[in-house]
Amino acid sequence: MGDEAFIEVDGVEKVFDVRRRTGFLKRERRRVQAVDSISFRVARGEMVGYIGPNGAGKSTTIKMLTGILTPSGGRLRVAGIDPSRERTRLAHRIGVVFGQRTTLWWDLPLIDSYRLMHRMYRIPDARYRENLDRLVELLGLEDLLEVPVRQLSLGQRMRGDVAAALLHDPEVLYLDEPTIGLDVMSKARVRAFLRELNAERGTTVLLTTHDLQDIEQLCSRVMVIDHGRLVYDGALAGLHEVGESERMLVVDLERELPPIEAAPARVVKVEGPRQWLAFPASESAAALVARVAADHPLVDLSVREPDIEAVIARMLHSPAESAQVPREDVGRVIS
Amino acid sequence: MGAGRLYLAVAVGGFRRYATYRLATAAGVFTNTVFGVILVFTYLALWEERPGLGGYDQAQAVTYVWLGQCLFATLAIQGGGAEKELMERIRTGEVAVDLYRPVDLQLWWLAGDLGRAAFQLLGRGVVPFLFGAVFFPMTLPTDVGRWAAFTVTLVLAAVVSFAIRYLVALSVFWLLDGTGVNQALMIAGVFFSGMLLPLNAFPGAFGEVVRVLPWAAQLQMPADVLMGETGVSGALAFQAGWAVVLLAAGRALQSAATRRVVVQGG
Ligand SMILES: Nc1ncnc2c1ncn2[C@@H]1O[C@H](COP(=O)(O)OP(=O)(O)O)[C@@H](O)[C@H]1O
Ligand SMILES: [Mg+2]
């Protein structure tokens, strides 16, 4: 069961025909290749991160997987079902959360939306109550059930949306930017919940994000899409390696000092007593801090994680290295 | 069975959503009452000049006014019901998200709009109507049968009203901007449903035409049934006919729109 492909995507494409008015009665037609021949498989119970810069084609892929968008080419199956042909049948088996949209009833208390889901998915009463209780507890919704959705904070609303997507026990959960705009606490809560959901119930999870930390904390596997093409599919560690990603240690010293020497970190910027040290993401920040602190008067410090755009940019700009990467633990670089 | 409970839940939700806006409701009651008073005095002056206009005596004209105020929000005669929200969802592309739910879009919106109409009738329509009945001479039936028939015409009026607005909302898939159609809907709604003047009072060929348009199913038919000016079965057939035709058209347009969304992404 474990390695049975639950989601199968073979050479799937999506081309949008965009018509634009360019003047009086003049129209311009343009083709946008949003997704360009991508292939991957996701096994039941996997938790996969799907990342890429803005406009890369992430949402388009998710929409095709849910059946609300028909592929222009290729073959797509979820649980053996062709999503766009049997959208309604598939709907009972999938859960979807679009970070910037809500499926909740805006003017009504949260609980009303859940009662609606109960009817919409024809969830047996006992099952509904059981699931609701569990989700309310895990997502901390006790005090929010009677609050109109429009009065919820973004983080609360997101948790509410996640619960709504799971009341009918979907086998797979798609999350499109679930942590976008959330505060640190809300992000942590959503992540902890997803980890638990995947571990306890074996729900397959596919999540798109901008936030590398989402992936770091949740997914053993990550797929990178750029300009509609899948450019990487493998472990997160491998992504850092391929992208030679670097973290940044920012230290405030007691006074201006010459650039710190602490290989493999290198100083990339000095501003008065403040210095920026770039170091490989795979190195321990703690060890580096200890070494710097040993012979420099430290006042303050912070570590900045590499952002996804930078990792991907570096990865795409080093085709020579990436080409020689197909090592097992590094993952597949698709070029 | 299961589907019935779903759409009932949607209708109840539609009712409760509007019920949360108490201040807006109170303001609406006030506006409709004031407007009714102004219109009643205008009508009385007009009927003084032209007694029997449209086949109504003065009491019937007054009844017509208050029924109009009662149904103005209920039937979303100048828009502002489910179609407003649907247009917004189409414009922002959120409508694509609605598609992954295992529901029928038209029934979903119909149920929600009927829930809204039910609230608007009880919360906003009844008070001006009772106000009119207390302070002005009105022609109201005394037999239960006619009130029952009137209730059925109200339900059908709400369905026809929804069906018109649903078609208008779906047009936004192609027009991209709903401002123009919204204004057209508002003007057509107010004029052709007889909010300004009973359709019976429209002269000549023009009158003949407006009396068979679907808007006539909204206010004119319930009014004439209530006041015994028309046969019940004929009125119900007229309304049901338009309901079926318009809902069917909405369904056809909906499947074209859905095809467009799943191909073009909205
Ligand atoms: N409905 C649509 N019509 C035309 N172009 C679209 C549509 N949806 C997405 N696109 C285009 O397809 C590309 C991928 O978009 P999307 O999948 O939303 O990216 P992402 O979610 O990765 O940010 C973008 O260039 C976007 O402008
Ligand atoms: Mg997106």
Q: DSSP string of A220-280? A: SEEEEEETTEEEEEEEHHHHHHHTT-EEEEEEEESS--SPP-BTTBEEEEEETTEEEEEEE
Asked if residues B173 and B263 have their Cβ atoms less than 8 Å apart, the reply is: no
Note the CATH number of domain A246-305: 3.30.70
CB < 8 Å to A67, chain B: 99-100, 262
Q: Given this chain, do its domains A5-93+170-240 and A246-305 carry the same CATH topology?
A: no
A319, with CB counted inside 10 A (0-12, 13-18, 19+), is exposed
Beta strands at A246-253 and A274-280: parallel, antiparallel or unpaired? antiparallel
* pLDDT recorded at residue A324: 36
- Residue whose Cα lies nearest atom 2 of ligand 1: it is B265
For A149-167, what is the mean pLDDT? 95
C-beta atoms of B13 and A112 within 8 A: yes
**Cα(B193)–Cα(B87) distance, rounded to whole angstroms?**
22
Strand spans (E) along A118-198: 172-176
- Of A60, A61, A65, the one to substitute when testing ligand 1's pocket (max ligand atoms within 8 A of C-beta) is A60
Summarize pLDDT for A245-262 with one digit per residue, the tens: 678 889 999 888 888 888
Q: What is the mean pLDDT of each run of 10 residues along chain B (266 residues)?
A: 87 94 94 96 96 95 97 94 92 85 94 98 96 96 95 98 96 86 91 95 95 97 96 97 98 94 80
A142 against A52, higher pLDDT: A142
Task: For CA atoms A123, A129, A132, A135, give the dihedral sign.
Answer: negative
Q: List residues near ligand 1 (CB under 6 A).
A: A 16, 18, 32, 34, 52, 54-60; B 264-266
* pLDDT recorded at residue A65: 96
Ligand that comes closest to the CA of residue A100: 2
CB < 8 Å to A66, chain B: 100
C-beta atoms of B100 and A87 within 8 A: yes
Q: Which CATH class is domain A5-93+170-240?
A: alpha beta
**ipTM for this model:** 0.87
C-beta atoms of B100 and A115 within 8 A: no
What letter would DSSP give residue A142? G
Which residues fall within 8 angstroms of residue B105, CB to CB, at 6 or more apart? B98, B99, B254, B258
**Cα(A243)–Cα(A237) distance, rounded to whole angstroms?**
10
Q: Where are the domains of chain A?
A: 5-93+170-240, 246-305
Helix H or strand E segment including A327: none
Side-chain-side CA neighbours of A282 within 13 Å: the count stands at 12
B6-43 in b/e form (b: 16+ CB < 10 A) is bbebbbbbbbbbbbeeeeebeebbeebbebbbebbeeb
CB < 8 Å to B21, chain A: 107
Ligand that comes closest to the CA of residue A34: 1
Which residues fall within 8 angstroms of residue A290, CB to CB, at 6 or more apart? none
CB < 8 Å to A32, chain B: none
From residue A186, give the alpha-carbon distance in Å to each of A138, A157, A180, A183: 13, 10, 10, 5
- Give yes or no for a cis peptide into A264 (omega within 30° of 0): yes
From residue A311, give the alpha-carbon distance in Å to each of A223, A237, A249, B254: 13, 12, 17, 44
Helix H or strand E segment including A309: helix A308-316
C-beta atoms of A116 and B264 within 8 A: no
Strands, sheet with A221-226, edge to edge from the N-terminal-most edge strand: A94-98, A172-176, A204-209, A47-51, A221-226, A229-235, A332-333
- DSSP-H helix ranges across A46-153: 58-66, 87-91, 110-120, 125-138
How many contacts does A have with B, using Cβ atoms within 8 A? 67
* pLDDT recorded at residue B199: 97
Summarize pLDDT for A74-111 with one digit per residue, the tens: 999 999 999 999 999 999 999 999 988 888 998 999 99
Residue A322 — pLDDT band, cuts 50, 70, 90? very low
Please state the pTM of the whole predicted model: 0.85
Asked if residues A72 and A13 have their Cβ atoms less than 8 Å apart, the reply is: yes
Task: For CA atoms B96, B102, B104, B107, give the dihedral sign.
Answer: negative
Say which of B2, B13, B102 has its CB closest to residue A116.
Answer: B13
Please determine, for residue A281, whether its predicted confidence score (pLDDT) is greater than 90: no
pLDDT above 70 covers a percentage of chain A that reads 89
B126, with CB counted inside 10 A (0-12, 13-18, 19+), is middle
Please determine, for residue A2, whether its predicted confidence score (pLDDT) is greater than 60: no
